[in-house]
Amino acid sequence: MKLTWLKWSVLPVAALMMGSVALAQDQSSAPAAKPDPSVAQRKENQQDRIANGVKSGQLTAGETGKLETKEAAINGETKADRAANGGKLTTAEKQQINKQQNGVSKQIYADKHNANTAHYGNNEVGQRRENQQDRIAQGVKSGQLTAGETARLENQQKNIHQQVKADRSANGGKLTSDEKRQVNREQNRASRNIYRKKHNGRTQPK
């Protein structure tokens, strides 16, 4: 009689323990709640579109510089809003950022589909410029370059391109040997600048 009582008193306890283990397993396997990723995803999407435009030549250095200046301003505003609200954005702030990104998105589309394209050419100067643009595009895509850094690098490329254009106009479409050496020196400085900015520890904020 005593053994029978023990058997029936142990069974409910065992069942209760097994249920607790199963519940704990269910809870541990359930996906953790994630914060709203819309702001970060939107920013990453814009940067990808800009990087693709740089790579394809659809965006000129001047156009890219202006777009990245706008992105840098939005990043700065987002950072300030988060700092003022304990690391979070209010609903109104998210709506404002989304509205600003809509404006940039339209500008990216317009710039990528206008008549302005980056022509590199098959000569040494053109190939060097294309290589620099590819490195910038890769840095934008990977997040190694912030929007502000990209804007400054693209403005540097724009200035070199304008100088090349002026020199060609003054020499019947060609560059003299001295002008080529000058352009190459300027691209060497730009190249070092790209490297430093891609390896300075600052990355595109998520």
Averaged pLDDT, 168-180: 95
Is residue 68 assigned to a domain? Answer: yes
The pLDDT score that the predictor gives to residue 121 is 84
The pLDDT score that the predictor gives to residue 86 is 94
Which amino acid, residue 127?
Q
The pLDDT score that the predictor gives to residue 43 is 92
The pLDDT score that the predictor gives to residue 79 is 94
Averaged pLDDT, 41-47: 93
Is residue 9 assigned to a domain? Answer: no
Question: What 8-state DSSP symbol labels residue 116?
Answer: -
Residue-range definition of the domain harbouring residue 79: 38-198
The pLDDT score that the predictor gives to residue 37 is 53
Count of CB atoms situated within 10 Å of the CB of 139: 24
The pLDDT score that the predictor gives to residue 38 is 84
Is residue 91 assigned to a domain? Answer: yes
N-to-C CA span, the chain: 69
Q: What are the φ/ψ torsions at residue 22 (nearest 5 degrees)?
A: -60, -40
Please count the structural domains in the chain. 1
Count of CB atoms situated within 10 Å of the CB of 104: 21
Q: What is the mean pLDDT of the chain?
A: 86
Is residue 204 assigned to a domain? Answer: no
Is residue 31 assigned to a domain? Answer: no
Is residue 177 assigned to a domain? Answer: yes
Share of the chain above pLDDT 70, in %: 82
Which amino acid, residue 70?
K
Is residue 186 assigned to a domain? Answer: yes
Share of the chain above pLDDT 90, in %: 74
CA distance 84 to 89: 9
* Position 169 pLDDT exceeds 50: yes
- Ranking 21-35, 82-96, 136-150 by mean pLDDT, the lowest is 21-35
Residue 177, token pair as written in the block:
């040997």
Q: Please write the tens of the pLDDT for every residue from 15-28.
A: 444 454 444 444 44
Is residue 174 assigned to a domain? Answer: yes
